[in-house]
Amino acid sequence: MPYVPHTGEDRARMLKAIGAASVEDLFAPIPHEARLCKPLNLPEPLSEQDLLAAMEALAARNRTGAACFLGAGCYDHFIPPAVDALANRSEFYTAYTPYQPEISQGMLQAFFEYQTMICEITGMDAANASMYDGATSLAEAVLLCAGVKKGRKKVVLSEGIHPEARRVVKTYVSKLGIEVVEVPLDGGRTDPARLGQAAAGAAAVAVQSPNVLGFLEEQKDAAEAAHKAGALSVSSVDPVSLGILEPPGALGVDVAVGEGQGLGSPMSFGGPHFGFFASREEFVRHLPGRLVGATVDGKGRRGFVLTFQTREQHIRREKATSNICSNQGLMALRAAIALSLLGPRGLAEVAALCARKAHLAAETLGSVPGFSLMHSGPFFKEFPLSCPVPAARVVEELLQDGILAGVPFPRIGLKPDEGLLVAVTEKRTAAEIRAFAAALKRRFPAKGPGTGKGKSK
């Protein structure tokens, strides 16, 4: 075991020093269901040469150049080459997560600028230096609300929130005695009245807009329903959409979170990405993670400091507001660079392109016999398409045409099996959209008169 430096004698001495008879005794407080009680399913070790050959064989299976209509929280946006050129500089790329106050001024300033931009696009007063991802940002927002609204042991989540994010929230609160109430969608969107009915006694009411189906939610009405019930309002938002949509801060939302991958991070098989977290000023001392602030030194020169570090490593455990022990500093830096390159006008242009092309795709694909749009309502860059066969089959067959057709509903825990989530970013072209529709017609021809579902309902 070359990667385990401790001998049996070493382990025995350590166990004796801490008063444990065995390793099993050491881990006894961890619930059995949370422990791995079987060997890891790992292959036999390989030599370096064999390992390289295996990795090259895996890499050769990748498909490049396909038209990507994938979404469901991870999107194929254009990344300016300057993002890689700057973020890959060694002083940024090798920097460790800023636990310590003596971190370099350069990194602190970069995070300060990132926080400022997140505040500007969300309309919020304060933002932290990033989170792991959008799902953990949402879970931390729920904990913030529970900490502010002490004594309230319920949170309300719209089922328009990505199912995986809802599962993360449930995991976070599972041992805290907090009840999670989920409000189902009605025609693809959340009914604010139903949110209000469920919000009685809740600490938080959370929605996602655009929601998991791509439709825009009534964030203002949801926030008003939350406040009427004495709860705080949380919105999980797509940051690119804020180039043209009203920011959550202007709609009465208390905490704005989301997945920031679309701002300068590649899809990369699902990570690493980053989550952003912003709130109103009154909740700033409850923010999880780190917050960088600007100050002046003894000579009056501008400088940057870690203003808040609310982890238990830095303050008393009972005062800690977060167990997030690391952020995604490098990916947040990429977002700051991307937003700086775009500027407000550029972000608005990207968002407008996404919206226009998505609506073109919805009209084009929804007119293919046998295919139709599920539900109606305003959407941004993503929409649900109903297929005449299971969506997984559509995805499999169109891959042969060099088209990544979208995400089948079952892949992310949604129904029905015939539902396909199609995302269209600024990178997609009219020619690619036409090719998508042509491939659907060729591979799934209508069987006869009256069999096609036609356009949107």
Res 457: pLDDT: 38
**Domains observed in the chain:** 8-60 (no CATH), 67-74+344-443 (3.90.1150.10), 81-338 (3.40.640.10)
Under 8 Å CB-to-CB from 204, ≥6 apart: which residues? Answer: 141, 142, 145, 146, 149, 155, 156, 226, 231, 232, 233, 234
DSSP state of 112: H
Q: Where would I find the beta strands (DSSP E) of 254-346? A: 255-259, 275-279, 290-296, 302-309
Residue type, 390: P
Tokens representing residue 100 in the block: 């310590």
Average pLDDT, the chain: 92
Query: Distance (Å, rounded) from C-alpha 361 to C-alpha 422?
Result: 9
Query: Distance (Å, rounded) from C-alpha 441 to C-alpha 387?
Result: 12
State percent of the chain over pLDDT 70: 91
* 373-382 pLDDT, tens digit each: 999 999 999 9
3 band by pLDDT with thresholds 50, 70 and 90: low
C-beta separation of 129 from 311 below 8 A: no
C-beta separation of 210 from 379 below 8 A: yes
Using CA of residue 431, residue 349, residue 253, residue 127, what is the dihedral sign?
A: positive
354 band by pLDDT with thresholds 50, 70 and 90: very high
Res 103: pLDDT: 67
Q: Which of 38-47, 309-318, 411-420 has the lowest mean pLDDT?
A: 309-318
Query: Distance (Å, rounded) from C-alpha 422 to C-alpha 413?
Result: 16
Res 322: pLDDT: 60
